[in-house]
Amino acid sequence: MKMVQAQKIDSFHDYAIVDATIPVPGDGEVLIRVAACGMGYVDALVAQGGYQMKPPLPFTPGQETGGIVEALGPNVTGLHIGDRVMASTFGGGLAQFAAVPSTAVFPIPDTMSFRQAAIFRINYLTAIHALIDRAAIQAGEKLLVFGSAGGVGLAAVQIAAILGAEVVAVASSEEKRGLALSRGAGCAIDTDAEGWRDRLKLVTGGKGPDVILDPVCGPLFESAFRSLAWRGRHLVVGFAGGPFPSLPVNLPLMKGAALIGVDVRQFLLYEEERARNHIETLLGWVSNGKLDPVVGRRFPVAEFREAMEFALTGQALGKSVIEFFE
């Protein structure tokens, strides 16, 4: 089989398409014939060695895949050869075949494409965990979403709309704001710092948002927190905006507000059953037409470097995919 691999991860140019032996699924593993592999900001960061957890070498990027069950290892139940599935691992997805634990494999609805499966689990699980478990968001509350055209942000816009929240999307371009509006946001504002709090106050009826979902944590971080309504919750999801911002500790007291971390990796580690229940809920919404996962730019596998570079630009609308076959 063909796979993308690097012996060191100082640069995307360390990676090449190489020949490898098709893996044999071990105890509790499933062999997936990969149709598509997601490539988002975190995927590219891991591939470049810039993530907080360094992958083992040699390394094959790609955490999320959509494809077909090719073979089953011993003691695998509930799955069958030929099933259409989504799967996830910490790397290994950019290969024609991938052996993954059966616990990380989910059958997908007939209405879901392999491309959608490859951009789904991390972003949509992060968003539902953030909104339900961490923010306890309620119908009618106002949610401000930074990076609202990115993978997690767009997932949050869609899920919040299903939950009955009123979504204010924040994005840097008209195209990005238009995408968020088309997927459930009630209104959208830009990221120009001059007068930003006044524009936010206007679209939230003078109250400010009840919840902020923030995968950016950029220059507007403190301004956004200062704009929270009483008992507001600011969800820290990621740092795509650059250096870690700081916050004066008197502000949570004055607002009766909370700064809340959202880490889907540890959520999967410590609350596996709840995470699986959320995934089943999300797939149910896909199956009944409530949720239509947004696929970003599509790249053939020969352009994997371009896909990784693009993922770090901040220009993506949704999460990109690298395709092996339809």
User: Which domains are assigned to the chain?
Assistant: 2-119+294-323 (3.90.180.10), 122-265 (3.40.50.720)
pLDDT at 79 (0 to 100)? 98
Q: What is the mean pLDDT of each run of 10 residues along the chain (326 residues)?
A: 95 96 98 97 91 88 97 98 95 96 97 97 97 98 97 97 98 97 98 97 97 97 98 95 91 97 96 97 98 97 96 92 84
pLDDT at 50 (0 to 100)? 83
Residue type, 63: Q
pLDDT at 155 (0 to 100)? 98
pLDDT at 240 (0 to 100)? 87
pLDDT at 245 (0 to 100)? 94
Q: Output the pTM of the full model.
A: 0.95
